[in-house]
Structure 1
Amino acid sequence: MNITLWIIASVLAIAFFAAGLMKIAQPREKLAASGMAWAGDFSPGAIKAIGAVEILGALGLILPAALNVAPVLVAWAAVGLAVVMLSAAVVHARRKENQAVPVNVVLLVPAVLVAWGRFGPHSF
């Protein structure tokens, strides 16, 4: 199960790092035009902050355990990313962007699984 959790955490880290980098690197207007209509309702600073949280969460899924420095932070990073995905699902549901909610759930479930595994039976 430890290897499975590492694989799930790695895939999540790649996905969140890429999504966060996109939010930091592109202006709000370009994000909104590329299908992220929700970006029009948020300030550029808020979008950059969301991107930064996603990047930090992605790093938190891997680095603490890989460097053996406070590996409990892996579980906390997974919890944080689960909260981000739950919040994103709420935003999409309120905006009636129902096609985006399953994507949030697909990222929420493995984040919860990593948090459960790293807090519980498969902690470091």
Structure 2
Amino acid sequence: MNIILWAAQVALALLFAVSGSLKSTQSLERMAETGQTSAKIVPLRFMRTAGISELFAVAGLILPWATGIARVLTPVAATGLGVIMVLAATVHSRLREPRTVLVNMAILAVCVFVSVGRFADL
């Protein structure tokens, strides 16, 4: 189970490293052009905050569990990313993007898996 949890953590870390980097550096117009359609209705400050939060969560997904220091931060980071996915699904639902909502829910499921699995290992 540990290997599967690590694989899920790494997959989430890669996904959110890219997403967070783009949200924290690109203009709203560029985000919308590259598929971040939520940029059409979400203010830039909110997108930047979400992006920076995602980058901190990436570190939280990997470093605490890998080092054994403050291991509780790993499931907390996964939970925080899950909250971001619920918020993203809400925005994409308002934009009438059912496929994107399904993707958000699939990512949410992985976040919940990591969170529950790592809380159980504490």
With the length of structure 1 as denominator, give the TM-score of the two structures. Answer: 0.92
Counterpart mapping for 1:1-124 below 5 A:
1-120=1-120, 123-124=121-122
How many residues were matched structurally? 122
CA distances 1:14-70 after superposition (whole Å, capped 9, x unpaired): 111111001112111111122323202122111111101111111110011112210
2 CA distance for matches of 1:43 and 1:90? 15
| Consecutive unaligned residues in structure 2, runs of 5 or more | none
1 CA distance for matches of 2:55 and 2:65? 16
Which amino acid in 2 is paired with 1:105?
M
2 CA distance for matches of 1:34 and 1:23? 11
Which amino acid in 2 is paired with 1:87?
L
Which amino acid in 2 is paired with 1:54?
E
Which amino acid in 1 is paired with 2:21?
L
Which amino acid in 2 is paired with 1:110?
V
Structure 1 residue runs of 4 or more that deviate by more than 2 Å after TM superposition: 33-37
2 CA distance for matches of 1:90 and 1:42? 12
2 CA distance for matches of 1:37 and 1:113? 27
Percent of aligned positions that are identical: 39
Which amino acid in 2 is paired with 1:109?
A
Deviation of 1:100 (Å): 0.8
Which amino acid in 1 is paired with 2:37?
A
| Consecutive unaligned residues in structure 1, runs of 5 or more | none
